Amino acid sequence: MALDAFISYLSLEKNYSVHTISAYRKDLESFRAFCNDKFDSVSIDNIEYVVVRNWIVDLVNSGISNRSINRKVASLKAYYKFLQRIGELQANPLAKHKALKTTKKIEVPFSEKEMELVLRQISFNDDFEGIRDKLIIELLYTSGIRRAELINLKTQNVNLVGGTLKVLGKRNKERLVPLLPSTKELFQEYFTERKSLDDIIDDDYVFLTQSGNKVYETLVYRIINGYFSKVSSKVKKSPHILRHTFATHLLNKGADLNSVKELLGHSSLASTQVYTHNSIAELKKAHTSAHPRSKK
């Protein structure tokens, strides 16, 4: 079956994560369900563009954002490209499709003051969960790793002597991330407390729940949102905002863009440059306050 072959291709050749592959499969199955419902068509392997247009209209009418619709259509386009590659399709019905317009997302990082309030003034419980939560916040802020990278971090990849983490990023790309002394201290405290758990099920993984299972996405989100809600009025308080904060604060302090790119695990500078708008704001402020002509 072509869909199964496509999923294998994404996994084995493209090295996509389980989460990304699952999203592709859901998008394609959603389109198949639409075709079966509206057009009595079982196969999606040879569809005219008008059918896709009807699907897009249906998605718009259902209230789904343009950004989400574009992602779903991109999954379908990739599938048809794959069918062309293996000789199952002559022409991609989405070859001339233009993505829907989207508003640019503005992600506001936490300020240095907000980070200080959380890490120095909030009282974390002096138990396993309290120490774990503080380490999660500290690590996301001082290393810039992604939520998925934190969840899947393994104990064997934490080198406290050398002060580094070996992180498995997107497309199974490994990188070394340095640890700050404060983060190393929290790791040591956490590992000591971790040993006191009654039953450890996912022993290979660093971050665990009280029941010994590997932490999961919604838990990490709740931890970040919960603590930062105490000090910040920002609408979005998520693990990704901490990654954004990490990059912004480094750039504000004069870090080289290429170095930040490597720390974040980006494959191109273009991905890193989205974090520079806050740095430009800081530079403008410094320029205005320091330049002799600014007073004239």
Q: Give me the active site residues, please.
A: 146, 170, 240, 243, 266, 275
How many Å apart are CA 71 and CA 94, to the nearest integer? 13
Question: Which CA distances in Å does 194 have to 139, 199, 212?
Answer: 17, 10, 9
Q: Is the dihedral of CA 26, 31, 32, 33 positive or negative?
A: positive
Helix (H, G, I), strand (E, B) or coil at 276: coil
3-state SS string for 34-74? HHHHHHCCCCCCCCCHHHHHHHHHHHHHCCCCHHHHHHHHH
- Provide DSSP, 73-133: HHHHHHHHHHHHHTTS-SS-TTTT--PPP-PPP--PPPPHHHHHIIIIIS---SSHHHHHH
Question: Which CA distances in Å does 80 have to 5, 43, 73, 76, 171?
Answer: 12, 13, 11, 6, 21
Give the neighbor-by-neighbor strand order of the sheet with 174-178: 158-159, 164-168, 174-178
Helix (H, G, I), strand (E, B) or coil at 176: strand
H helices, E strands: number in the chain: 13, 3
Task: Look at the block and give the residue holding tokens 């901490």.
Answer: 242
Q: Which two tokens stand for residue 148?
A: 């998925």
Nearest CA-CA partner of 153 in 132, 167, 163? 167
